[in-house]
A and B are shown apart, each in its own frame.
Chain A
Amino acid sequence: GENVEQHPSTLSVQEGDSAVIKCTYSDSASNYFPWYKQELGKGPQLIIDIRSNVGEKKDQRIAVTLNKTAKHFSLHITETQPEDSAVYFCAASGSGGGADGLTFGKGTHLIIQP
């Protein structure tokens, strides 16, 4: 089945700086890659997603890049703010958006230092 590795496990950045979280996946058939933000006591919130026919997608301060050849994708957050502090999860759909569910990375605890 699909396996997703996520790095780093903890990332501390100064407010206003950029943050980058990286993930690799194993199943070359995967074609859907969402990113979720989870705050304490809440369920994961979908913040951005990308499909394999697209190399990059942006939404205001958030962007995701995908390299299908290398089987890795990254989340970029620019101009970080205190409210960006949370745990971020990457995920991949193991059978191309089908019924296998999402396979998640272990998460990155992003800390924004004031």
Chain B
Amino acid sequence: KAGVTQTPRYLIKTRGQQVTLSCSPISGHRSVSWYQQTPGQGLQFLFEYFSETQRNKGNFPGRFSGRQFSNSRSEMNVSTLELGDSALYLCASSIQDSVLGQFFGPGTRLTVL
């Protein structure tokens, strides 16, 4: 069974631009969560989707948003990019509507110049 896939793997943007990242969960998984990983703050929860509904959101500004489609694929969007948004963005999926048994993708490395 294929794992979680994320596209693109690498992105370079400039301040003020916006970016969209994509995540395809493991087949049959309906829950998708997004995390931001930086050297300073570590792994931080962004938001979680289940059945196209955002169930909860971490402590991030409104510039960070996401959505989930009927096939469970998910996208996250960051508008008005700041230098501090440079990070590895990780997507994780699980079968049920919880964080139990989450499997992570390889991440998208975003660099903001």
Contacts and interface: CB of A to CB of B under 8 A. Distances in A.
B82 interface: no
Contacts of B105: 43
Nearest to B55: A99
Interface of B: 4, 33, 35, 42-48, 50, 55-56, 58, 90, 92, 97-107
Contact of B56 (A44, A49, A99, A107): A99
Contacts of B50: 99
Contact of A97 (B45, B98, B106): B98
B98 A44 contact: no
Contacts of B56: 98-101
B55 to A, nearest CB: 4
B45 A100 contact: yes
Contact of A104 (B42, B47, B103): B42
Given A100-B56, A101-B33, A107 B100 contact: no
A99 to B, nearest CB: 4
